Amino acid sequence: MSNAAKGSAVITIPGHNQNAELPMLAGTIGPEVLDIRKLYNELGVFTFDPGYGGTASCESKITYIDGDEGVLLYRGYPIEQLAEHSTFLEVACLLLNGELPNDAEFAEFERGVTRHTMLHEQLRSFFNGFRRDAHPMAVLCGVVGALSAFYHDSLDINNPEHRRISAFRLIAKVPTIAAWTYKYSIGQPFMYPRNDLSFAENFLYMMNAVPAEPFKVNPILSRAMDRILILHADHEQNASTSTVRLAGSTGANPFACIAAGIASLWGPAHGGANEAVLKMLEEIGHVDHIPEFIDRVKDKNSNVRLMGFGHRVYKNYDPRAKIMQRTCHEVLGELGVKDDPLLDLAIELERIALSDEYFISKKLYPNVDFYSGIILKAMGFPTSMFTVLFAVARTVGWISQWKEMIEDPSQRIGRPRQLYTGAPMRDFVPRNRRD
Ligand code: CMC
């Protein structure tokens, strides 16, 4: 990998009689980056950035976000264009390999994914070990982690062919596992994948079909599902992706790394927000209760947040939220839902929040999760499956970022330092002499 040095910055720290000259790096777009790698060796100081708000943890060519302008690019292509004109599998190929495929390249990629959609038959028994009421994310996390016990022939991270096959296996098998977590929870037979269907169609089929009768996938719903998958496919160095990279930096196998990413995604501040939005809307219950709810959100002591609002990077409308809102209307139209009280509530909540000084001054806008729950609920997904669906899509981003990291010659184990504020060195005192 390369990054162009654009001059340098001289750092002087009071009380240190030495300066450090640090290179300034420039990406293709985005802010300049101060390269602090020499700082500790030259001046003996660390930098402090809990939450990494001002720290670039790696160099990447995959996804770019301009949070102030509300721009999201996959490999340079605006998310709006990909959502409109591309398909999830084509976007997966783009994220993983760097370029949009031609016909032959796409056919090969599609073959690579579809030939890996089935699970090792012994993996079925894993599901029986879980309680029926287990959260599907718990099951997903466990079964994806278990993949490394089944596919020993693709675990050598230094072998490009192993990396290629592991990537295909993960992209192909996570939807099967995801659908089976749902089938297990409702006590229906597992549906085997159908490789004659598109990625989104096959997922909807495995979720909704039963062996007793034929099932036809609604093309409008599969198109909406495909678009939702595109919107969630990657989002640069968010918490779960950083988790995957950090786990991967130790040389851990890709199945284990993706399981770590799934665990990280589960939290309500990240991928769990779509589930939390729906719970919040149901709790608010009626538009008349919105002002009271907004007051609780603004109360510093309440710990209540407007779920689906705000983002660490976007200080403008999340471009994915706009597409989600449009898709929401399409899906509800197709399903003949004329008045969805939750949608009415969400629209009113958004209107009030966007004109409220609290949200304006803090630059809090709807994010991707604000409307996704309403769409998924209308499509028949239970709330507990919302984050699972996010994980199905994000597996593509995680594995692309993992692969990029492994193939980066400058990659080394991730090992942050700390600002230690504990006790200084002291001597051990035997228990009978402690106060
Ligand atoms: N509702 C009310 N106040 C908020 C919200 C919110 N949703 N988000 C941020 N704030 C306030 C926060 O209280 C703080 O105020 P103050 O400066 O007075 O202390 C200020 O805005 C900055 O918040 P922060 O927590 O320092 O911001 P962050 O960048 O650390 O957090 C976030 C980003 C996404 C975790 C946060 O906005 C949040 O909790 N949002 C709700 C959960 C959510 O929708 N998450 C999905 C994110 S998008 C998809 C994904 O990443 O998976």
Radius of gyration of the chain (CA): 24
**What's the longest Cα–Cα distance across the chain?**
79
Query: What is the DSSP secondary structure assignment for residue 297, as one 8-state letter?
Result: H
Looking from the CA of residue 265, the nearest atom of ligand 1 is 52
H runs (alpha helix) in 119-265: 124-128, 136-146, 160-186, 199-208, 219-232, 239-248, 254-265
Phi, psi of 222 (to 5 degrees): -70, -35
Residues serving a catalytic function are 311, 369
pLDDT value of position 344:
87
C-beta of 274 in contact with ligand 1 (< 6 A): no
C-beta of 273 in contact with ligand 1 (< 6 A): yes
Mutate to test the pocket of ligand 1, among 367, 389, 390, 394 (most ligand atoms within 8 A of CB): 367
C-beta of 369 in contact with ligand 1 (< 6 A): yes
Question: What is the Å distance from ligand 1's center to 267 Cα?
Answer: 13
Instruction: Confirm if 395 and 403 have CB atoms less than 8 A apart.
Output: no
pLDDT value of position 16:
82
pLDDT value of position 1:
43
Instruction: Confirm if 400 and 245 have CB atoms less than 8 A apart.
Output: no
pLDDT value of position 2:
47
Whose Cα sits closest to atom 27 in ligand 1? 312
Distance, CA of 114 to CA of 198 (rounded, Å): 9
Whose Cα sits closest to atom 11 in ligand 1? 362
Q: What average pLDDT values come out for the chain (435 residues) when binned by 10 residues?
A: 72 87 95 95 94 96 96 98 98 98 98 96 95 96 96 95 97 98 97 97 98 95 96 97 98 98 95 90 94 94 93 92 90 84 89 93 92 88 94 98 96 96 98 94
Distance, CA of 110 to CA of 411 (rounded, Å): 30
